[in-house]
Amino acid sequence: MWKTIKSDISAVFDNDPAARNWFEVAFTYSGLHAIWAHRIGHWFYKRRVFTIARIISQWSRFMTGIEIHPGAVIGKRLFIDHGMGVVIGETCEIGDDVILYQGVTLGGTGKEKGKRHPTIGNNVVIGSGAKILGSFTVGENSRVGSNAVVIQEVPSNSTVVCIPGKLVKRDGVRVNRLDHASLPDPVIDIFEELQQQINELKAQLEQERQKNGGVREHDAQSV
């Protein structure tokens, strides 16, 4: 148990430059408190003491603003940063060294039974406000941009942005997992491509205009 607690606290120092000391982290980080409460609730859930498990989950939600169903399976060193509004569903599975930012939803898409929430691989970063909905896998070392809505499987080592989520490959090179400012935007890329084409057409029109103007001047001189 103490090894797990130490690992959870270490994850905060690894991912949050604002963390100053162990005492402050242990007593003031709501994401850490939500994870610890979940571990207790999950212990009861596995032993089919569902009511106690849900009471612990709801108490944690009231205290931290983070709702984690006691049935969810969470791996090692999960870091929830500024976790207000985070929701993790019952059949969700989260791997090791995952980072969730505020407003993330790992949810389902309806009233289907069985596995209905996503599986998140190791070393995944999910940006603020992102929604991952459905029973599919987000592969290892992937990143989901802020406010993206993901409704289909994400391969490993990928980046997903926009609504609905669009897969953007980056030549197989993994960028800094915390560098949200460098996330690609396919919509902006399309506008930039259109602007480039417009500039090329303008240049061609200007060449034709100059060419036609030169011909008219030559004809006038001949007359």
DSSP string of 58-110, one letter each residue: HHHHHHHS-EE-TT-EE-TT-EEES-TT-EE-TT-EE-SS-EEETT-EEE-SS
Record the tokens describing residue 202, joined without a space: 């303008």
Residue 187 is predicted with a pLDDT of 65
Fold observed for domain 1-188: UDP N-Acetylglucosamine Acyltransferase; domain 1 (2.160.10)
- In the chain, the N- to C-terminal Cα span, in Å, equals 100
Q: What SS3 class is residue 150?
A: strand
Q: Is the pLDDT of residue 103 over 80?
A: yes
Q: Is the pLDDT of residue 212 over 60?
A: yes
Give 5 or 192, the one with higher predicted confidence: 5
Q: What SS3 class is residue 182?
A: helix
Amino acid at 186: P
159-185 per-position pLDDT tens digit: 888 776 666 655 555 555 555 555 566
Dist CA 212 CA 199 (whole Å): 20
Q: pTM above the 0.85 mark? A: no
What is the CB neighbour count within 10 angstroms for residue 157? Answer: 17
Tell whether the torsion through CA atoms of 182, 187, 189 and 195 is positive or negative: negative
Dist CA 128 CA 105 (whole Å): 10
Q: What SS3 class is residue 177?
A: coil
Residue 185 is predicted with a pLDDT of 61
Query: What H or E segment, with its residue span, contains residue 35?
Result: helix 30-46
54-63 per-position pLDDT tens digit: 999 999 999 9
Burial 122-132 (b: 16+ CB within 10 A, else e): bbbbbbbbbbb
* Domain boundaries along the sequence of the chain: 1-188
Give 212 or 90, the one with higher predicted confidence: 90
Q: Cβ-count burial of 121 within 10 angstroms (0-12 exposed, 13-18 middle, 19+ buried)?
A: buried
Residue 172 is predicted with a pLDDT of 56
The mean pLDDT of the chain is: 85
90-100 per-position pLDDT tens digit: 999 999 999 99
Band (pLDDT 50/70/90 cuts) for residue 126 is: very high
Q: Is the pLDDT of residue 2 over 70?
A: yes
